[in-house]
């Protein structure tokens, strides 16, 4: 405890004034008692004693009143330690690093857990009326709790954070996001607490961020590790050349710090299959080649690799592999005119164009089959079927195609010499929404400039000089997305049930048109397949932890289960739409998907399963030089507590007011007694 103005203690002398006045009033002249009044005085003795008690209480109240006022003038205070801020009402932002490196253990708990506990202590240090916003620094930086004055809610929200996260680090983005949130508040006092390990991999320099008007504290939750750290950097798989169903895995390891020359690598496959290989380290890198057996159809597709080493961060010692994990539109190309010469094959240009389509446009997994084998192909293994110059299939298979489209599949028809208009009208008229009137030869003709942007987002770029010298003529009831210069349809689309059909009135090879030789052929074919795929064209696997996976819902599926790397099952039985959005991807590793139909038991679906790659830049755990505030050697913060002064003058004034009211009440009581 201390005093801001100790000289004001002289004011306590004023507290003696009531006592002096009380003593002076009691000095009466000597009294000579007359015998006639002696009896009356004895009768009033008890009454006088009560008056003396009231006078004593009045004296105490007056002395205490003046003493409290004098103490208020001295500006007394007490000192206290707070873990964040200065005890004043403010607007605070707390940044918590939830990247993979925060999974490192220190003193019996993970760094993320320590950061959450430290954030809770910081919130406890804020007085009522303060507001808090919580921002997470794992990639991408995001708001975990919007600005609120409910401090109890903010602490509860902290404990809802997933205990494990495999995100990258975006400290700069998180600090900048916090500054924007604080800029929107009307509070004059703004402060920020940044909790992280501030490892070298974050490449964070506080000097690059302008924090004018905001007090920012960078606090490391633990010292840098003293031992080495190993990390599985990459895994690539390729089918074995022996054709025995095995795959070769090339594993790359990176070393930070001193490590042994060899490290055991455990490989766990489907079922109880397990093997151990050695990774040979040289310098800061290591490599190993491993042979694994592919899982059986419908079996658990995950293969897990794990370094058996005691290092600083165990999380980056694991890596999951799915030998066929690309989430993509499954396109079945049906070849109506196969040819030994590649350039004359019906699918030569189409297959090449689709394989070159950028992933941000559409991911595809392509398979092909000759038209003679089409009836033996299971359409459940495809999302889009492309019939390229294929003669009309039998009626039974046309019915299968119709069911395929009605359940959400896509069908693309392209013309050619094998197409007979009469048989196509009988087989596909209702399905494609068009009636063929014949095939015609004509002088070379270009496409019309007006193009539906839903088909070609960039218009006729790369197709302006394409020439067509043969085509199918038809009456279209569906939507015409592209026309020739004379106005006749070039591309017609139609919706049937949940699916779509697309008709190209010329060929996909060079027999009827030179469009396949033009740069615009790639966006044209991608546009045809993408439109036929519908919402499934937007399917994607996460490129990093925390990104959303968009998975196609198979036709007839009634249940989809996603099994995370931690073996937690996420069940979805309300399948409304062609795509399922899955956002619980904060862990890296294999996400295995099981699908069940009306009468079928759940089975693993390799074409829907996917892996979330771990961040490759979280392994360097050395402390960066840029952080301004660190922990001591025991991991306890040296700057987490602040000594503040809490003034007591208001309490002294409150006491003075209480004594003043008591003094007035006693005087009123005394006056009434005298009057009676």
Average pLDDT (343-347) is: 86
From 326, 251, 362, 363, select the one nearest 611 (Cα to Cα).
326
Average pLDDT (11-40) is: 60
Residue 669 confidence (pLDDT): 75
Architecture of 84-225+621-640 per CATH?
A: 3-Layer(aba) Sandwich (3.40)
- pLDDT tops 90 at residue 47: no
Identify which has the larger pLDDT, 146 or 342.
Answer: 146
Strand order in the sheet with 329-335: 364-370, 329-335, 384-388, 410-414, 499-504, 489-496, 479-483
Residue 387 confidence (pLDDT): 95
Rounded Cα–Cα distance for residues 508 and 347 (Å): 7
* Phi, psi for 628 (deg, rounded to 5): -90, -20
The angle, 0 to 180 degrees and rounded to 10, between the axes of the packed helices 151-158 and 111-124 is: 170
Average pLDDT (385-398) is: 92
Residue 363 confidence (pLDDT): 82
The answer to whether the beta carbons of residues 563 and 569 sit under 8 Å apart is yes
* Phi, psi for 589 (deg, rounded to 5): 130, -165
Residues in the chain: 676
Adjacent-strand bridge partners of 279: 263
Domain with CATH 3.40.50.410 in the chain: 84-225+621-640
Domain with CATH 2.60.40.10 in the chain: 229-322
Whole-number percent of the chain with pLDDT over 90: 49
Using one digit for the tens of pLDDT, what is the confidence trace for 631-659?
333 333 334 445 445 677 777 788 878 87
Rounded Cα–Cα distance for residues 61 and 67 (Å): 10
Residue 8 confidence (pLDDT): 61
Using one digit for the tens of pLDDT, what is the confidence trace for 117-146?
999 999 998 989 999 999 999 999 999 999
The answer to whether the beta carbons of residues 102 and 47 sit under 8 Å apart is no
Architecture of 229-322 per CATH?
A: Sandwich (2.60)
Average pLDDT (54-61) is: 76
Find the angle CA(203)-CA(204)-CA(207) to the nearest 5 degrees.
135
Residue 22 confidence (pLDDT): 65
Q: Which residues fall within 8 angstroms of residue 449, CB to CB, at 6 or more apart? A: 459, 460, 464
Residue 341 confidence (pLDDT): 72
Q: Which residues fall within 8 angstroms of residue 341, CB to CB, at 6 or more apart? A: none
* Phi, psi for 645 (deg, rounded to 5): -105, 130
Q: How confident is the model at residue 73 (pLDDT cuts 50, 70, 90)?
A: confident
Q: How confident is the model at residue 671 (pLDDT cuts 50, 70, 90)?
A: confident
Q: What is the CATH number of domain 547-612?
A: 2.60.40
Using one digit for the tens of pLDDT, what is the confidence trace for 370-389?
988 888 888 888 889 999 99
Q: What is the CATH number of domain 329-537?
A: 3.40.50.880
C-alpha of 163 from chain center? 14
Domain with CATH 3.40.50.880 in the chain: 329-537
Using one digit for the tens of pLDDT, what is the confidence trace for 86-107?
778 899 999 999 999 999 999 9
To the nearest whole number, what is the mean pLDDT of the chain? 85
Two tokens at 657?
């007011």
Using one digit for the tens of pLDDT, what is the confidence trace for 580-593?
899 999 999 999 99
Residue 629 confidence (pLDDT): 46
Cis peptide before 513 (omega within 30 of 0): no
């Amino acid at each position: 405890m201390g005093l801001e103005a100790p000289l004001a203690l002289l004011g306590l002398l004023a507290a003696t004034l009531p006592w002096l006045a009380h003593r002076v009033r009691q000095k009466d002249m000597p009294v000579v008692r007359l015998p006639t009044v002696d009896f009356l005085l004895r009768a009033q003795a008890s009454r006088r004693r009560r008056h003396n008690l009231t006078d004593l209480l009045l004296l105490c109240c007056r002395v205490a009143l003046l003493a409290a006022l004098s103490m208020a003038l001295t500006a007394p205070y007490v000192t206290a330690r707070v873990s964040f801020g200065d005890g004043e009402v403010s607007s605070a932002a707390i940044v918590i690093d939830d990247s993979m490196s925060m999974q490192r253990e220190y003193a019996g708990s993970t760094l993320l857990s320590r950061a959450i506990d430290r954030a809770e202590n910081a919130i406890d240090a804020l007085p009522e009326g303060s507001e808090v916003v919580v921002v997470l620094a794992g990639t991408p930086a995001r708001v975990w709790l919007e600005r609120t004055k409910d401090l109890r809610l903010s602490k509860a929200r902290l404990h809802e954070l997933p205990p494990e996260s495999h995100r990258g680090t975006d400290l700069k983005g998180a600090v900048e996001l916090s500054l924007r949130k604080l800029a929107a508040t009307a509070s004059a006092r703004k402060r920020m607490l940044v909790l992280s390990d501030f490892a070298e991999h974050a490449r964070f320099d506080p000097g690059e961020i302008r924090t004018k008007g905001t007090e920012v504290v960078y606090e490391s939750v633990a010292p840098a590790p003293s031992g080495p750290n190993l990390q599985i950097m990459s895994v690539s798989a390729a089918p074995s050349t022996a054709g025995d169903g095995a795959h070769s895995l090339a594993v790359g390891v990176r070393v930070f710090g001193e490590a042994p020359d060899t490290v055991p690598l455990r490989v766990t496959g489907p079922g109880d299959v397990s093997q151990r290989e050695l990774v040979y380290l040289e310098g800061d890198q290591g490599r190993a080649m491993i042979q694994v057996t592919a899982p059986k159809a419908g079996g658990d597709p995950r293969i897990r690799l794990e370094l058996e080493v005691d290092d600083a961060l165990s999380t980056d010692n694991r890596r999951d592999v799915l030998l066929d994990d690309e989430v993509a539109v499954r396109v079945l190309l049906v070849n109506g005119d196969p040819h030994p010469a590649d350039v004359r094959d019906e699918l030569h240009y189409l297959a090449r164009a689709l394989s070159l389509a950028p992933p941000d446009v559409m991911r595809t997994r392509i398979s092909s089959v000759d038209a003679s084998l089409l009836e033996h192909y299971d359409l459940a293994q495809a999302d889009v079927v492309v019939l390229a110059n294929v003669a009309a299939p039998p009626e039974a298979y046309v019915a299968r195609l119709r069911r395929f489209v009605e359940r959400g599949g896509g069908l693309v028809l392209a013309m050619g010499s094998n197409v007979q208009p009469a048989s196509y009208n009988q087989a596909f008229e209702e399905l494609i929404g068009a009636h063929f009137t014949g095939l015609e030869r004509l002088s070379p003709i270009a496409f019309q400039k007006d193009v539906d942007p839903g088909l070609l987002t960039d218009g006729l770029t790369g197709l302006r000089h394409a020439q067509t010298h043969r085509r199918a003529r038809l009456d279209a009831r569906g939507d015409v997305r592209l026309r020739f210069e004379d106005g006749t349809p070039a591309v017609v689309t139609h919706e049937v049930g949940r699916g779509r059909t697309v008709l190209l009135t010329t060929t996909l090879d060079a027999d009827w048109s030179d469009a396949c030789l033009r740069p615009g052929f790639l966006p044209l074919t991608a546009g045809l397949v993408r439109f036929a795929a519908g919402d499934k064209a937007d399917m994607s696997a996460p490129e990093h932890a925390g990104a959303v996976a968009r998975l196609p819902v198979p036709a007839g599926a009634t249940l989809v289960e996603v099994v995370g790397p931690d073996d937690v099952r996420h069940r979805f039985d309300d399948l409304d739409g062609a795509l399922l959005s899955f956002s619980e991807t904060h862990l890296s590793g294999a996400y295995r998907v099981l699908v069940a139909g009306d009468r079928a038991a759940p089975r693993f679906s390799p074409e829907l399963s996917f892996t979330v790659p771990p961040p490759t830049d979280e392994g360097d755990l050395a402390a960066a030089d840029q952080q301004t505030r660190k922990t001591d050697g025991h991991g306890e913060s040296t700057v987490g507590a602040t000594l503040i002064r809490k003034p007591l003058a208001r309490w002294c004034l409150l006491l003075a007011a209480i004594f003043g009211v008591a003094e007035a009440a006693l005087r009123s009581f005394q006056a009434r007694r005298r009057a009676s």
